[in-house]
Structure 1
Amino acid sequence: MDTRQLRTLLAIQAHGTFAQAADVVSLTPSAVSQQVQALEDELRVTIFNRGTRPPQPTPQGLQVIEMARDILRREEDTRASLRGDQIAGTLMLGSVRSSALNLLPRALVQMRQQYPDLKPSLRVSLSAALIADVAAGRLDAAVVAEHLGIPTALRWSPFLREPLWLISSDPLPDSDVADLLRSRPYIRFRSPVPLANLIDTEISRLGVVTNDVAEIDTIGTLVTCVRQGLGLSIVPHVALEKPEGLGLFRLPFGIPPITRQIGIVERTVSPRGAIIERLHGVLADLCGAHGVARRPEGKP
């Protein structure tokens, strides 16, 4: 097995056929087929089902493809390390589908401008899956909300601590938030994420039974419905950054007002530590007054 075979394998997976992969890796289709056959013989598995058009990876082939990605990424990282360049190579990053996700592309653009040899690869998924992938080494780090299920082998560092707001399309009287929730139509954020649980828990603690007129699973759509006058709702501060928050009225949510946190989860011992630390700093800067500086290791 050599890296040329692995690059050919990934080219086939990316482009669909042996012929198209041959153009990418500058080989003939026959040479591509020979490389795949040699790899299959060495590993004693069938990587592609050649009876389908285009050829499809077998279950064992998918494992080999995942292994190839990991080996090539480690090779790239090692080359960067030998050059003394700690902010280079590929950063495998995950993120929850959150209203804070709009911060991450901006941060990655900044990182790419400052470190042109850095190649970020982003995947969006649910918190539990992302945390498991970081623990298993399939991701270098992931952006997730404060979460109870962080294994001890991982470290979670918040970069955003923001208030939650009760929002309305009409002016809100400076009165008790609980009374407003009882008396006005309410749009509930219904999603299997920590933010939804945080909001529902505080509403329950306040002893409020809301008059629900809608249940929505994305913060952006929820803000749109409030702007159209459908009802009140509760959102994190980042959801009201311009232009989303223009024309909406707000009051602090919770008694006392509560906040939510978003941060980066990574392995406590990580070869990508320098990159992740820099990314954390960029994200915290983008959060402005609600940004949280990363604590040095060992500090409470």
Structure 2
Amino acid sequence: MDTRQLRTFVAIAENGTFARAASVVNLTPSAVSQQIYALEQELDTKLFNRDSRPPSLNLQGLKMLETAKQILALVDETRGVLSGKQMTGTLNVGSVRTSTIGLLPRAIVALRQEFPELSVNLRVGMSSMLISDVNADRLDLAIVAEHAGVSRNLLWSPFIREPLMVIAPPGTPWMPAKELLEALPFVRFGSDVPLGALINNELARLGITVQDIAEIDTVPAIVECVAAGLGVSIVPDIAVRENGRDMLKLPFGEPQVFRKIGMIHRAGSPKAELFVTLHNKLAEMAGEFGVYREGGAAEGS
């Protein structure tokens, strides 16, 4: 099996007939038939239903079509990386629903300005599913919080290390963070993700007893509730950096607690240099809390 056969096979699937495909790949119809015959012999399976006119892909052919497109995309991307030519192909990106997700579209736009031939697909989901999809090669990379579930064959590289802040409604008189958290109703981040565990563990370590008034699973909604005067809460700095709405903001933790958001991807990917570029654009947009990468290096899991 070689890439010429695969390109001919894909051309037939996309153009409907062997004859049309022949003009696309600059071969004679006879040469196209010979390539497909050789491919079927090597795979030891028929890829076309030849009882129909023109021949159509059978079930095995449909399965092979997806594989062929993946192989050809990988070959093209690898050639681009090795030759230093403009990056083409598709970058499949997943991201958790995090307060840093606002950085990602801006970073993708900046990446496509640098590589205009690059196509980017973005999907938002839960961290466990995204990690599974990276492992299974359904995603090239994923943006997730520091996570114990990252397997050893994946590389983890944080692009932001930011502090957690105690926030209170506008007009709240200043007092130490511990007193503030115990004096006002508490809007809890009620999501089973690393940020929730980080907050809860530090509250317990400091012996802070809070009085819950609400449990909410998104940081922006928590900020809205605090701004409206519902109570006090704890959020990442980025959630209130640009629009604090005159809320009282104090560092959380002793010493102050930081959380990391980063990128995971498979080791040895031919898109590694592209990952570094996207990572550093995210770090740049994270401002003073950005964490940059050099070369292809990344932290292990």
Q: TM-score range by the shorter chain?
A: 0.7 to 0.9
Over the aligned positions, Cα root-mean-square deviation in angstroms equals 3.4
The one-character-per-residue Cα deviations of 1:79-123 (angstroms, maximum 9, x if unpaired) are: 534753263321111111111111000000001112111211111
5+ residue gaps, structure 1? 10-24, 32-37, 47-57
In structure 2, C-alpha distance between the alignment counterparts of 1:271 and 1:149, rounded to whole Å? 24
Q: Is the 8 A contact 1:146 1:261 kept in 2?
A: yes
Residue 257 of structure 2 is matched in structure 1 by: 258
Q: Is the 8 A contact 2:157 2:298 kept in 1?
A: no
Residue 127 of structure 1 is matched in structure 2 by: 127
Residue 138 of structure 1 is matched in structure 2 by: 138
Once the two structures are superposed, the pairs formed by residues 226-241 of structure 1 within 5 Å of their partners are 226-241=226-241
In structure 2, C-alpha distance between the alignment counterparts of 1:206 and 1:285, rounded to whole Å? 33
Q: Is the 8 A contact 2:156 2:298 kept in 1?
A: no
In structure 2, C-alpha distance between the alignment counterparts of 1:142 and 1:86, rounded to whole Å? 23
1:210 offset after TM fit, Å? 1.4
In structure 2, C-alpha distance between the alignment counterparts of 1:291 and 1:234, rounded to whole Å? 21
Residue 287 of structure 1 is matched in structure 2 by: 286
1:69 offset after TM fit, Å? 5.2
Residue 222 of structure 1 is matched in structure 2 by: 222
Among the aligned pairs, what percent are the same residue?
43
Q: Which has the larger radius of gyration?
A: 2
Secondary structure of 1:110's counterpart equals helix
Secondary structure of 1:180's counterpart equals helix
In structure 2, C-alpha distance between the alignment counterparts of 1:134 and 1:213, rounded to whole Å? 38
In structure 2, C-alpha distance between the alignment counterparts of 1:116 and 1:279, rounded to whole Å? 14
1:8 offset after TM fit, Å? 8.3
Secondary structure of 2:245's counterpart equals coil
In structure 2, C-alpha distance between the alignment counterparts of 1:231 and 1:150, rounded to whole Å? 35
Letter in 2 for 1:123: R
5+ residue gaps, structure 2? 21-36, 38-43, 49-58
Query: How many residue pairs are counted as aligned between the two chains?
Result: 267
The structure-2 alpha-carbon separation of the partners of 1:7 and 1:150, relative to structure 1 and needing over 3 Å to count, comes to: farther
1:217 offset after TM fit, Å? 0.7
Letter in 2 for 1:114: E
Residue 163 of structure 2 is matched in structure 1 by: 163
Letter in 1 for 2:270: P
Letter in 2 for 1:221: A
Q: TM-score, normalised by structure 1?
A: 0.76
Once the two structures are superposed, the pairs formed by residues 17-96 of structure 1 within 5 Å of their partners are 67=67, 70-78=70-78, 80-81=80-81, 84-85=84-85, 87-96=87-96
Which deviates the most, 274-283 or 169-178? Answer: 169-178
In structure 2, C-alpha distance between the alignment counterparts of 1:124 and 1:185, rounded to whole Å? 31
In structure 1, C-alpha distance between the alignment counterparts of 2:124 and 2:62, rounded to whole Å? 20
1:135 offset after TM fit, Å? 2.2
Residue 54 of structure 2 is matched in structure 1 by: none
In structure 2, C-alpha distance between the alignment counterparts of 1:218 and 1:61, rounded to whole Å? 44
Q: TM-score, normalised by structure 2?
A: 0.76
Q: Does the alignment pair 1:117 with 2:120?
A: no
In structure 2, C-alpha distance between the alignment counterparts of 1:98 and 1:120, rounded to whole Å? 19
Letter in 2 for 1:271: P
